[in-house]
Amino acid sequence: MCGINGIAYSPTSRRQVDEKRLIAMRDVLIHRGPDDSGVFVDGNIGLGHRRLSIVDVEHGAQPIFGSHRSSVIVYNGEIYNHGDHRAELIARGHKFTTHCDTETILHLYEEHGRDCVDYLRGMFAFAIWDKNKRELFLARDRFGVKPLYYVHDQDGSLFFASEIKSLLEVGAVKPEINFNALPDQFANHGTSGDETLFAGVKGLLPGHTLTWKDGKIDVHEYWDLEFEPKNESRSDAEYVEEWSDLFRKSVELRLMADVPLGMFLSGGIDSSAIAAVMSTMVSEPVKTFSVAFNEREANELEYARLVARKFKTDHHEITITPRQFFEALPKLVWHED
């Protein structure tokens, strides 16, 4: 998990990015990226990044620049198939200076422009400033695993960040309730469109990109979920085998890291299945973590312990008291925006 942020002042505003304000906006997100940080300022454009180092720990600091420093990226996420594109990009003349997935996104953008998202398999939110086109390009993954919020104000300036608190820090909007979003929030425990509970703040929807140029934005849907029944005559065993192969591959893809890996283990079907498969793919015992409450009816630790014993994981538990929960509630609300 990393944190990204940025400011793009409309050319008509004649405003220049203040690096101190950009850094203040960035460092509200230090909990997302305590390992490293960076900024990029180009007149009316500013990008910020807080890094949690997972891939290419030594050389993956951001922002990262493209060919001839004509493009620059800040990014949060993991691209599981970045290695699949690397050889082809090198063959086409792209020069890599790191082994991180961030740089692959940037070279794919240089090669395919906005269509670069079609080549990415993973979870991501990123921003690319294209100096030649004077365009800012934002993108979010297909299922919205990684968050990305933005404010497009009246003069055409754009502010974006991984969390809303970063937008509030720089004064992009006043923290006011968006009453239009309340019914959706109460009914669905969250907003289902691009509206948020903060007036003037929108979320870039999953499977969408946003392009900003000269104060105007263009939001584009590049992917949506489709389901077409195959109507194939196959046995249950064949379907089970296909699902098992897909599941194992999905777990394997998410083990991409240059640091130790762990997982949350509730003891339910989902996390137990992941623990079972993951334990066959790593050399060291899987580090598992479970959280529970003191109350018996809200404590499922025994199920997690059964799984941990079965697959010989390096198991860790945290038990929370009601007092601890309520003491932490203000901080939890802050983190949830």
Please give the positions annotated as active site: 2
- Dist CA 191 CA 184 (whole Å): 5
The set of long-range contacts for 165-169, using a CB threshold of 8 Å and a minimum separation of 24, is: 165/28, 165/29, 165/334, 165/337, 166/3, 166/5, 166/25, 166/26, 166/28, 166/29, 167/25, 167/201, 168/198, 169/24, 169/25, 169/28
Tokens of 76: 């949060």
What string of DSSP letters covers 76-108?
EEEETTHHHHHHHHHHTT---S-SSHHHHHHHH
The set of long-range contacts for 212-215, using a CB threshold of 8 Å and a minimum separation of 24, is: 212/8, 212/135, 212/136, 212/137, 212/138, 212/152, 212/158, 213/133, 213/134, 213/135, 213/136, 214/10, 214/11, 214/134, 214/156, 215/10, 215/11, 215/12, 215/155, 215/156, 215/157
In terms of Cβ atoms closer than 10 Å to its own Cβ (0-12, 13-18, 19+), residue 116 is buried
- Dist CA 265 CA 263 (whole Å): 6
Which residues in 42-73 are b (16+ Cβ under 10 Å) and which e? Answer: eebbbbbbbbebbbeeeebbbbbbbeeeebbb
